[in-house]
Amino acid sequence: MSEESKIYVELIHGDLWLMPVLTPISYYNSKRTRDLPVGFPSPTTTRTMRSTSLILVSAFIANSTSFTLPSPNVYSSHRQSTSNILNIRGGDLNVMTSSTKLFSTLAPISEALVSGSPLRAVGALYVVASLTVVPLTLIRQAYSFSVGYGLSVATMSVALLYAFIFPDGNISMSPFQSSVPAILTLNSLIYGLRLASFIFLREQTVESKKKAFKDLDKSDPLKRIPLALGVSLLYAFMTSPAVFALRDTTIAAGSALEKVQLYSTGVSVFGMILEAIADQHKYQAKRGKDGEDKFIGPATWTYRLCRHPNYLGEILFWIGLYAAGAVSFGKSIVAWACGTLGLWGILSIMFGASSRLDKKQEEKYGGQSAFVEWKKKVPYSLVPLFK
């Protein structure tokens, strides 16, 4: 493996976090691909991702020549069934009309998210993600799949909340009173902000992480743009189920589908909390002990569930979000394809990262009594009850 390929890693949770959907630095700089790590795509796959990105953007632009808001009948049935609360699944026409006057620059994205075709809706998410990730990648390459990852999830969630819940720019507490899709999206916002701030704080306070981030800045800033666009596409796919959950006005209160959506949202919230606790626990346990060769844990609290509870939390968050949105996919091929590809991408990353980290820990701590004892008590790498 070349030196450039070796440094193309990210320490998202303080561990090795290779992105199998990304193209290594060596490909952009010298086109050498014979040394690519396992899990990285071939140049053909990379070109396909970039082509898909261009298709999404082109489709979004081509279908955005007019920004007419949805007609009142789009929301009428839902307003009648929820007359006592804010209409948060389909938006409110009168408020959205005033919104376009005050925030005209956001009208194309809001319109695409609320009433555009499924492809345009995902394209709108992709635009938001790209506008977040590209500038951060120009500042620091590692931000494309670290701070940019969390922040793009947050900005896409903000775009959704703006389009469906806060169309006039005013904050309302009504979403907390009724809508499961609104809670799902708010949870995504909290997830993204928490993850981005945690990674940034860790970079600033842990010297080895700061060095790892800086070591990746070896390519010209403009050459990082394809990388940023590629990961933005993945982030848009991962978040897309929230769009379809918010757009669906057909799920009846108390129905089986609503219960599935509610339980799935609960799984997503639990995953977000689990990941936050595990990340913070690991950060506190290792802080100030950079480069320590002795096993110092953590080995308590969530680290009794499995050896990588932060990864488990991330998996539960995305599975919950996918399941909550899947009940609203219907017969849309775009919804199923984008949502499933996004979930497959993050699951591949998490399972691959946990496997690599197990090997790394075994090489570093193997034979140490504390590590051996912890591994004996916690035999599950990622999923409890499954070795």
pLDDT-derived band of residue 2, with 50, 70 and 90 as boundaries? very low
Mean pLDDT score of the chain, rounded to an integer? 78
pLDDT-derived band of residue 286, with 50, 70 and 90 as boundaries? confident
Which SS3 state, helix, strand or coil, does residue 383 take?
strand
pLDDT, residue 356, reads 94
pLDDT, residue 218, reads 85
* Nearest C-alpha neighbor of 150 from the set 170, 164, 129: 129
Q: Which of residues 215 and 23 earns the better pLDDT score?
A: 215
pLDDT, residue 292, reads 78
pLDDT, residue 170, reads 58
Q: Is the pLDDT score of 11 beyond 90?
A: no
pLDDT 10s digits, 115-158: 899 999 999 999 999 999 999 999 999 999 999 999 999 999 99
DSSP H helices in the chain: 3-6, 25-30, 43-62, 73-81, 93-102, 107-115, 118-139, 147-164, 180-205, 207-215, 225-247, 256-286, 309-326, 333-365, 369-377
Mean pLDDT, residues 154-171 taken together: 80
pLDDT 10s digits, 27-81: 333 333 333 333 334 444 444 445 555 555 455 444 443 333 333 333 333 333 3
Burial class (CB in 10 A: 0-12, 13-18, 19+), 75: buried
pLDDT, residue 288, reads 80
Identify whether the C-beta of residue 312 lies closer than 8 Å to the C-beta of residue 383.
yes
Print the SS3 string covering 312-358. HHHHHHHHHHHHHHHCCCCCCHHHHHHHHHHHHHHHHHHHHHHHHHH
What are the C-alpha distances in Å from 118 to residues 183, 189, 346? 21, 21, 21
Choice among 59-68, 258-267, 286-295 with the minimum mean pLDDT: 59-68
Share of the chain above pLDDT 90, in %: 55
